[in-house]
Chain A
Amino acid sequence: MRKTQVFWRFLYAALVKRRSRILISLLALVVGTAVTAGLINVYYDVQAKMSKEFRTYGANLVVEPEDGVALQEPELTAVEKVVGGQDVVGSTPLLYHVVDTTGSSLVLVGIDLKEAKKVFPYWEIRGKWPETKNEALLGFEAAGKMLIKPGAQLEVLDRKTRVKTVLTIVGLVSSGDEVDNQLVVGLDLAREVSGREGEADQVYLSVIGHGEKVTQLATEISRLQGVKARPITRISTAEGRIMEKITGLVALAVAVILSLTGLCVGTTMLAAVVERRKEIGLKKALGASPGDVMKEFLSEALALGFIGGLAGWLLGFLVAQGIGYSVFQDSVALRWLTLPWTLLVSGVLTVTASWLPVQKAMSVDPAVVLRGE
């Protein structure tokens, strides 16, 4: 029989037949690694999920003409091309034009009606979203002043050409910003009314990602001729700060949990060494070197770390699912990369926590512990 076979046989016996003794260590490891693996799983997913959640706050990147006049068709196409390859929730050009209505003037805003829903998800609409060319949204405050309700017709006149356009107000928009006083229509109609074919004043983008990623995309777009892009800092900075805080919190929680787990494993191992000092003394009397004793105890610790780590990883994945569903109403993706990391962390933790107890085991004096009574 090979020596390694017998080594595994003894290790198996030490783990299985002493299972009630190692249960506390194992439980501590399972709980510790489960929470750690769960948090790591959630942490990786939370970045993507939080970014998506943040997109309900609207655009976080704005593109403007470098000359301050207008974005032309080729520039818009170039921006679209850059943005196309990115993780973007939505983007819409905006075209502003002042029009006259009965007794007052209004800012007409042309938007991509399909995309704008994604870029401005926080807009509250009373009525319905415009679908056809002559349908429009009227700002909540403007509607109040003009006593207009959804379904009403509104006649607008271009100041220069005096061309008249009749719009159907299908909904009132409340956004908490300047849109409350504006008239929102499709981009094509705005271009027609203003006579600025192919132009836009701004492009609003809602990009998944925070801080650096948005800045990076802004820099990339700004490299294009005739355009400049800037992050809407109040949104992207807030995102960055929250992500930083979450990272810090996860790191702190992991550190505390692992320290407590290590402490528990270390204490249990120390108790095991004290309990097994006669066994250690006997092994030394039979010819085991301190190195042999260290090898046996560290192997037990590593095996414990492996079993605890594996069970903890599985449990951690379930914990992550729980957190995912309760916080984001979505599942958390299984990340296989977390398995080797969890096993490594668990192994290093048990070996580190067992280091002092193992030193104590190595120094057991057989002459003292085997003394007869």
Chain B
Amino acid sequence: MVLELKCVSKTYGSVTALKDISFGVSKGAWISIMGPSGSGKTTLLNLIGCLDKPTSGQILLDGVEISKLSEKELTRIRREKIGFVFQQFHLVSHLTALENVMLAQYYHSMPDEEEALAALERVGLKDRACHLPSQLSGGEQQRVCIARALINYPSLILSDEPTGNLDEANEKAVIELFEELHQQGHTIIMVTHDPEIGALAERKLLLDHGQLMPR
């Protein structure tokens, strides 16, 4: 198991965002998390991505209990084990596509320009390596984001509505990329609103009012 959640709950004051969530993700799986707005999808992704801590329960990532770790240790786990793909891309505007990929290498270990360029080639953007995000289309920006997420060989790729800001053509290109990654054996957890995209995953988790709905 790459990831295991045991009775995970998260409350903000009197509001319960997640309640008793338990599931496991095996290596190479593609899981989609679906549900209406406010159902707790992003909260769940933040907990798995070590950006937040659960109020109760256990989260095991590669066998390590991460729910009780300090901020410093969570930062290290994020750096080493997680690759993020965001709906809004979140590329650094003053860095080129190549430098944005190298940024993840920089915080992880040693930046390697050749390797970063190879990652961009893998997402079909080698010739756009020296472009700033503002010079790239939405789809291209998202592909840079995917290259950045892959560069450190993470245990888990977490993706929050990766096609939410893309037109149909770009959406198709990005989804094809995810399918490719899945075939290569990457473990993907994707939050999505779109039932069609959700259906591509080998397993769907449906959240409603912070609780997992039975399959």
Query: How far does the Cβ of B86 sit from chain A's closest Cβ, in whole Å?
Result: 6
A145, CB-defined interface residue at 8 Å: no
Closest to B115 in A: A1
B72 — which chain A residues lie within 8 A by C-beta?
289
Contact A285 B51 (CB under 8 A): yes
Contact A287 B93 (CB under 8 A): no
A288, CB-defined interface residue at 8 Å: yes
Contact A372 B87 (CB under 8 A): yes
Q: Among the interface residues B51, B72, B95, B102, which one has the most CB atoms of the partner chain A within 10 A?
A: B51
Contact A289 B75 (CB under 8 A): yes
A3, CB-defined interface residue at 8 Å: yes
B interface footprint on A272-296 (CB within 8 Å = 1, 0 otherwise): 0000001101111111110010000
Contact B93 A279 (CB under 8 A): yes
Contact A287 B161 (CB under 8 A): no
A370, CB-defined interface residue at 8 Å: yes
- Asked whether A286 and B79 contact (CB < 8 A) given A9-B99, A18-B94, A372-B161, the answer is yes
B111, CB-defined interface residue at 8 Å: yes
Closest to B76 in A: A287
Query: How far does the Cβ of B118 sit from chain A's closest Cβ, in whole Å?
Result: 14
- Asked whether A279 and B78 contact (CB < 8 A) given A1-B113, A3-B110, A10-B103, the answer is no
Contact A371 B75 (CB under 8 A): no
Closest to A17 in B: B94
A281 to B52, CA, bound (A): 13
A282 — which chain B residues lie within 8 A by C-beta?
86, 90, 92
Question: Which residues of chain A from 242 to 263 have any CB-CB distance to chain B below 8 Å in the complex?
Answer: none
Band of interface residues on B: 35 or more
Query: How far does the Cβ of B41 sit from chain A's closest Cβ, in whole Å?
Result: 9
- Asked whether A13 and B99 contact (CB < 8 A) given A1-B113, A287-B107, A373-B88, the answer is yes
Question: Which residues of chain A from 169 to 185 have any CB-CB distance to chain B below 8 Å in the complex?
Answer: none
Closest to B106 in A: A6
Query: How far does the Cβ of B209 sit from chain A's closest Cβ, in whole Å?
Result: 19
A370 to B160, CA, bound (A): 10
A14, CB-defined interface residue at 8 Å: yes
B112, CB-defined interface residue at 8 Å: yes
Contact B90 A370 (CB under 8 A): yes
Band of interface residues on A: 20 to 34
- Asked whether A279 and B92 contact (CB < 8 A) given A6-B111, A372-B160, the answer is yes
A367, CB-defined interface residue at 8 Å: yes
- Asked whether A367 and B52 contact (CB < 8 A) given A6-B102, A10-B95, A285-B84, the answer is yes
A226 — which chain B residues lie within 8 A by C-beta?
none
A151 — which chain B residues lie within 8 A by C-beta?
none
Contact A367 B104 (CB under 8 A): no
A18 to B112, CA, bound (A): 25
Closest to A289 in B: B75
Query: How far does the Cβ of A284 sit from chain B's closest Cβ, in whole Å?
Result: 7
Contact A278 B94 (CB under 8 A): no
B93 — which chain A residues lie within 8 A by C-beta?
17, 279
Query: How far does the Cβ of A347 sit from chain B's closest Cβ, in whole Å?
Result: 23
Contact B108 A287 (CB under 8 A): yes
A366 to B84, CA, bound (A): 12
Contact A366 B51 (CB under 8 A): yes
A7 — which chain B residues lie within 8 A by C-beta?
106
Closest to B114 in A: A1
Closest to B109 in A: A3
Question: Which residues of chain A from 344 to 373 have any CB-CB distance to chain B below 8 Å in the complex?
Answer: 366-367, 370-373
B interface footprint on A1-36 (CB within 8 Å = 1, 0 otherwise): 111001101100110011000000000000000000
A372 — which chain B residues lie within 8 A by C-beta?
42, 86-88, 160-161, 164
B54, CB-defined interface residue at 8 Å: no
Contact B104 A286 (CB under 8 A): yes
A283 — which chain B residues lie within 8 A by C-beta?
92, 103, 107
A1 to B92, CA, bound (A): 20
Contact A287 B99 (CB under 8 A): no
B75 CB contact (under 8 Å) in A14, A17, A284 = A284
Q: Among the interface residues A18, A287, A366, which one has the most CB atoms of the partner chain B within 10 A?
A: A287
Question: Which residues of chain B from 166 to 212 have any CB-CB distance to chain A below 8 Å in the complex?
Answer: none
B95 — which chain A residues lie within 8 A by C-beta?
10, 13, 17
B79 — which chain A residues lie within 8 A by C-beta?
286-287
**Extra contacts besides A6-B102, A283-B107, A287-B80 (18): CB < 8 Å:** A1-B112, A9-B99, A10-B106, A13-B95, A13-B99, A17-B93, A17-B95, A279-B90, A283-B103, A285-B78, A285-B84, A287-B78, A370-B86, A371-B42, A372-B86, A372-B88, A372-B160, A373-B87
Please list 22 pairs of residues, one from A and one from B, whose beta carbons are closer than 8 Å in the complex, sorted by A's number: A1-B111, A13-B94, A13-B99, A14-B94, A17-B93, A17-B94, A17-B95, A18-B94, A279-B93, A283-B92, A283-B103, A283-B107, A285-B84, A285-B90, A286-B78, A286-B107, A286-B108, A287-B78, A287-B104, A366-B51, A367-B51, A373-B88
Closest 7 CB pairs of A and B: A287-B79, A17-B94, A372-B87, A287-B107, A367-B51, A6-B111, A282-B90
